[in-house]
Amino acid sequence: MVLMTLDCGFMNYFVSNFMNFMTLLCNYVSFCYNIMHLFL
């Protein structure tokens, strides 16, 4: 039971970090895309 709770907590932690990372990545990509548009 403890293992299940621990695993669930780890998954929640991993998923939230992954979502934050993806959001940052999307922001970075759109930022780069806008910069490219300015110069091209």
Return d(Cα 19, Cα 3) in angstroms, integer: 24
* pLDDT at 34 exceeding the cut of 90: yes
The predicted structure's pLDDT at residue 23: 95
* pLDDT at 1 exceeding the cut of 60: no
User: What residue type is assigned to position 25 of the chain?
Assistant: L
The predicted structure's pLDDT at residue 12: 87
Continuous segment of H or E residues that includes residue 26: helix 2-39
5-18 pLDDT tens trace: 667 788 889 899 99
Written as six digits, the tokens of 28 are 């970075």
19-32 pLDDT tens trace: 999 999 999 999 99
Which DSSP symbol is given to 1?
-
Q: Where are the domains of the chain?
A: 1-40
